[in-house]
Chain A
Amino acid sequence: MDPRPLSYWWGRAVYGAVAGVLFAFLLVFLLRTLFGFEPLWEGGVYGGVAGLIGGIGFLWGIGCFDFWLGWAKGADISVEDHSFHGATNWRHYFRLNTDHKVIGIQYLAMTLFFMLWGGLMALLIRTELAAPGQQFADGETFNGFLSMHATLMIFVFAVPVFGGIANFALPIMLGAKDMAFPRLNALSLWFLPVAGGLFLSSMFTGMFGAAWTAYPPLASQGTMGQTLFELGVQFAGASSIATAINFLATIITMRAPGMTIWRMPILAWATGVTSVLVVFATPFVAGSQFLTMFDRVMGTHFFAPDQGGDVVMYQHIFWFYSHPAVYIMLLPGFGIISEVIATFARKPLFGYRAMAFSLVAIAVLGFGVWAHHMFVSGMAAWLRVPMMITTIIIAIPTGVKMWSWLATLWQGKIHMKTPMLWALGFLFTFLMGGLSGVFLGVVPIDIQVSDTYFVTAHLHYVLYGGTVYTVFAGLYYWFPKMTGKMYSERLGQWHFWLTFVGTQLTFLPMHWQGLQGMPRRVADYDPRFATVNAIETLGSYMLAIATFIFFYNVITSWKSGPKAPWNPWRGKTLEWLVSSPPPIFNFDAIPQVVGGPYQYGIPDARHAVVFAPEEFGGELKEDTRYPVLVVANQTLVSQTLIDEIRSRDADGLWSFQFVVPVGDDDRSIAERRLATTLAILAGHGVAATGRIVEGDVVDVATEAATEAVPHELVLVTLPLTQGAWMRADVVDKIRKATGVPMSHVVVPADDARAITGASTLPMVMVVAGEAVGAEALATAVRARADAAPARFTIVLALDLSEPRWGAEATERRRTAGVAMTATVNALVSTGVAVEGQVMDDAPSVALPLAITAFAPAQIIVAGVNGEADALAGAVQEAAGDTPVEIVDVGTVAGS
């Protein structure tokens, strides 16, 4: 690690920025004097050059160019120099860093900081609009607020924020050790504070007021702030392009062995496609801002009609970037949502290839729709209809995605964790925005509602749904991976619901308002809009409170949240196969990808295998597996528990140790359950050991976790009100006492009885007659179960006489059912995997049928009162080679 303190780097950065600004002033002054420009003082010119050189000075000071300058000077530097890589304390997050994980978090912190500023501007806008008339801001100031709001939100929040998430997650998901160009990555990051700083510094030089679109001729007037805006966009654009090239190089050249493009997570597809958009579209916004800047600073006449200039040309160039930019702000979000929905619905992503192709289709079509922003601009009229058609066609690939997400949810096992809530909120909110987008794509409607609040409603539904919701989904999803801590689920849910209600309150009425004709970007309005505006202002305050909760949650959880396990969501992609937070170069061993990324619910499916370093050779060995402690008692043998263990085992990283706490209840029951569970798991090839410990669950779990510290503690219980030891505070108590990352799996009571998971155990068919319902039969079965784990089916042949629909037959079936249920319950509650089967036919007909159907490994004939021989006779022939054991369970009274 580089030993120089933060004060050194930031001192240098301030020095670089100030020196740059002073140098720029001097340079411009000298040049203007030399060439005799009048007047000598021209704020925009000085401001523009100062912003540019000062920005570069800052980048130099913070250290972005040190490596390259050192190389150019021939200094002793090495590409193997990792002294700026990784973070071991908080200070490393506040200086230049080349680790993609640190950069990702820096990106997120920085963009969220700008989001706070942009949000503050939104609150000022909404407060001014809370009532008709002027509250505290005149028209000019109001323009400043809304321009600043949109500029910060778009250029330094919505566009780069995905760079943060992808920077963190993508290299790990691809199985790479870092991005392709870590130093370029750092440079891209540090462009952002320069861009945001230029935007914000315009508050001191007169705020720019031409909105984020900065149309001339409005943008050709105005204060020095407008020049700083144009410069800031250049820095933000340079950041985007550099990151995008870096992402593409990473995705194309740095995938792990076996990671074919059709095995990449959708987030990689989305980031790749977005990066192509960025690389080929962003130069257009750079071009448009160069032209307006030259008009302002150099006195050219690009947008002066009387000098042969053309203002509509600006809009064409600007929207040729800024429409694709909408997809730049959405597509990575689509990727995040695909990850989250598949993981929390526990189902393979529906239509993986369609998902990938629709991303590509959206991007390609996105280049052909720009003029739909200009239907009322006076552009060439023939462009309208083609642009309308392409615009509406984009709804098709978007619809493919929407339906694929819904189809993924369909019949999934949906876990309503915070990331999933955001994903579902996204589906609704983005759908609203998408639909009003189709409206707006239609020329006559667009002409009618242009520059009204209908457009404001549309874009906020799109960007709130497509950007804000997806970013939050991603933040909560990867928060455990980024920080190694779990966030507070309760606060997360509060954050979601307040934001969701706030979003609808703020933006839903705007549709109506716009259709009624209230123009956007105006500080005052007709009194008849007073009520809706008041509601919207209220909604925006709700959003502010929700955001406050989010930051509180993030800060407290990162500081003192419970430790996160490697894979809290049971995700399949590669980032969940490394620790939380991941080691400095992500993988201690090279991962080998062997399957698709979303094979949820497919037994034993694996996305990747982590190989040990070459000198150790091959796949991780059993003894190199990390121990996972499973604490359970009543839920042993349940399908949920077996599935849970098997899905973890598919990672290939864990060995499982069961600890079964027993209290006053019968120890033999716990032993039987444990033996059965271990046998089932062994049948699935899962290595597990187990022991029974007497005592309270908290004490037992704590003791076991301190003896040998496990990687993770999995507590499996019945729901809160049903379990023997499940109290509300058990999870927290164990967590506090052990300090080990913990997962809590809740098994529904019905499921705890199910034995379908026992399919790997040998099937024992118990043929019984009148013994069904008697304790003696249960005892006999238990004795067999204790001898060797097995699953049982008790078969009772009723031998009903004709007709079988009469009252007598019904009554006999009912009695037999009650008796069978009693026996099965008695056995299940003592840990035996058993089912009952009542058949109508005589034993000689029914039992051979049953033998064919169940294909048992062993048959036990349990007869009472001397019926055993008759029953045995009925099974003898059909049994064939299957061993048949005859057990006399004695006499049963009353039969």
Chain B
Amino acid sequence: MATTAGHGHAGHDDGAHGAAPAHGRSPLLLSMLLFIGSEVMLFASLFTAYFFIRYGVPNETWPPLKADGEPFELPVVMTLVNTLFLVMSSFTLWWGEQRLAAGDNKGLIRGLWVTIFLGATFLLIQLNEYAHLGFTPQDRAFSGAFYTLTGFHGMHVLVGLIILSMCLRRAYKRDFSTAYHTPLTAGSYYWHFVDIVWVLLFLLVYVI
């Protein structure tokens, strides 16, 4: 009898304990949702810090001024394009899952490749933006909050890319089928979460 659940590629659905029938929920997907809930709260705490700093800016000038007296300026247009890349990657991942549901493993592999490519592009553009922003985390409280938020998000994109790469490897090994794709689903939950957080971040930090 299995005493572990969800870590394996034994081909059966996870959590298949003899003693736990009939609840019909996958512990792995449930845990991923809970973990994402936890991550949402982590970003909530960082956003809280960001808004405290934002509303503490003297004279309500926005964007606030850098240490050298110039206002912080963020490359909104470039980031908008970058945002579209990331949003697109969610749809390509969804497309890949649809292909798998239709029994097309090759389609899934293509979808994953495109998704990973778009995610990596996003990350590279973001790094490039860091290099050309003209301020550092040490500049003012605002810049610290900006780098913390975007940096944490970037780390999450990286983790998401690792998860998707692992799914890709398993897709090559034909581990997933129309009947069994729990790890892939969990990975895609995570990727969509990373995506949605970025859209929020873009709206709250760059746009307004």
Q: Chain A interface (Cβ within 8 Å of chain B)?
A: 67-68, 71-72, 78-80, 82, 85, 98, 175-178, 180-183, 241, 244-246, 248-250, 252-257, 279-284, 286-288, 290-291, 294-295, 298-302, 304, 307-310, 312-313, 316-317, 320, 585, 587, 590-591
Task: Report the bound CA distance from A286 to B15 in whole Å.
Answer: 30
Residues of B with C-beta under 8 A to A313: 48-49, 52-53, 56
Query: Which listed residue (B3, B42, B57) contacts A182, Cβ 8 A?
Result: B3
List residues 47-65 of chain B with CB under 8 A from any CB of chain A: 48-49, 52-53, 56-58, 64
Contact across chains for B140 and A307 when beta carbons are under 8 A apart: yes
In the assembled complex, how far is the CB of residue B34 from the closest CB belonging to chain A, in whole angstroms?
5
Q: Which residues of B contact A (CB under 8 A)?
A: 1-10, 15, 17-23, 25-27, 30-31, 34-35, 37-39, 41-42, 44-46, 48-49, 52-53, 56-58, 64, 67, 137-138, 140-145, 147-148, 166
Chain B residues with CB under 8 Å of A300's CB are 137-138, 141, 143-144, 147-148
Q: Which partner residue on chain A sits nearest B32 by CB separation?
A: A245
Minimum CB distance partner of B6 in chain A: A181
Given contacts A246-B31, A253-B23, A307-B67, 4 further A-B contacts (CB under 8 A): A180-B6, A180-B31, A287-B48, A300-B148
Q: By the criterion CB–CB under 8 Å, are A68 and B148 in contact?
A: no
Chain A residues within 8 Å of B6, by CB = 180-181
Q: Which residues of A contact B57 (CB under 8 A)?
A: 308
Q: Which residue of B lies closest to A85 (CB)?
A: B3
Known A-B contacts A176-B17, A317-B48; the reply to A283 vs B41 at CB < 8 A is: yes
Q: Name the residue of chain A whose CB is nearest to the CB of B166.
A: A72
Asked whether A309 and B141 contact (CB < 8 A) given A176-B17, A178-B3, A182-B4, the answer is yes
Q: Which residue of A lies closest to B64 (CB)?
A: A308
Residues of A within 8 A of B45 (CB): 283-284, 286-288, 317, 320
A175: which B residues are within 8 A, CB to CB?
A: 19
* Residues of chain A with a CB closer than 8 A to B9's CB: 71
Complex contacts, B20 vs chain A, CB 8 Å? 176, 253-256
Q: Can you report 12 A-B residue pairs in the complex whose CB atoms are below 8 A from each other?
A: A71-B7, A79-B4, A254-B19, A254-B23, A254-B27, A257-B22, A279-B37, A279-B38, A283-B39, A290-B46, A300-B138, A309-B56
Within 8 Å CB of A183, what residues of B?
4, 7
Q: Which residues of B contact A67 (CB under 8 A)?
A: 7
Q: Is the CB of B30 within 8 A of A249?
A: yes
Q: Given A183-B4, A249-B30, A309–B53 Cβ distance below 8 Å? A: yes
Could you tell me the distance between the alpha carbons of A71 and B138 in the complex, rounded to whole angstroms?
Answer: 41
A176 to B31 alpha-carbon distance, docked (Å): 17
- Asked, given contacts A181-B5, A279-B38, A281-B41, whether A310 binds B138 with beta carbons under 8 Å apart, the answer is no
Within the complex, which residue of A241, A253, A283, A298 is in contact with B30, where a contact is CB–CB below 8 Å?
A: A253
Task: Report which of B15, B49, B166 forms a contact with A302, defined as CB distance below 8 A.
Answer: B49
Residues of A within 8 A of B58 (CB): 308
Question: Are A256 and B19 within 8 A (Cβ)?
Answer: yes
Residues in chain A near residue B147, CB distance under 8 A: 300
Which residues of the partner chain B approach A249 to less than 8 Å between Cβ atoms? Answer: 5, 15, 27, 30-31, 34
Does A177 contact B19, Cβ atoms closer than 8 Å?
yes
Contacts of B140 in A (CB 8 A): 301, 307-308
The reply to whether A79 and B10 form a contact with Cβ atoms under 8 Å apart is yes
How far apart are B80's CB and chain A's nearest CB, in angstroms?
A: 26
The residue that A245 contacts in the complex, of B2, B23, B31, B64, with Cβ under 8 A, is B31
* Nearest B residue to A72, CB-CB: B166
B2 A255 Cβ-Cβ under 8 A:
no
In whole angstroms, what is the CA distance A301 to B57 when docked? 13
In the assembled complex, which residues on chain A have CB atoms less than 8 Å from the CB atom of B26? 253
Shortest CB distance A276–B (Å): 9
Nearest-CB distance from A83 to chain B (Å)? 12
List of B residues within 8 angstroms of A71 by Cβ: 7-9
B49 in complex: contacting residue of A80, A85, A254, A287, CB < 8 Å: A287
Which chain B residue shows the least CB distance to A281? B41
A175 to B21, CA, bound (A): 12
Residues of A within 8 A of B8 (CB): 71, 78-79
- For residue A302, which residues in chain B have a CB less than 8 angstroms away from its CB? 49, 53, 141, 144-145
Contact between B7 and A68 (Cβ–Cβ < 8 Å)?
yes
Could you tell me the distance between the alpha carbons of A98 and B3 in the complex, rounded to whole angstroms? 9
B141 and A299 contact, CB distance less than 8 A:
no
Residue numbers in B under 8 Å from A176 (CB-CB): 17, 19-20
Residues of B within 8 A of A72 (CB): 166
A304 cross-chain contacts in B, Cβ below 8 A? 141
CB nearest to A278 among chain B residues: B38
B17 contacts which of A68, A177, A244 (Cβ < 8 Å)? A177
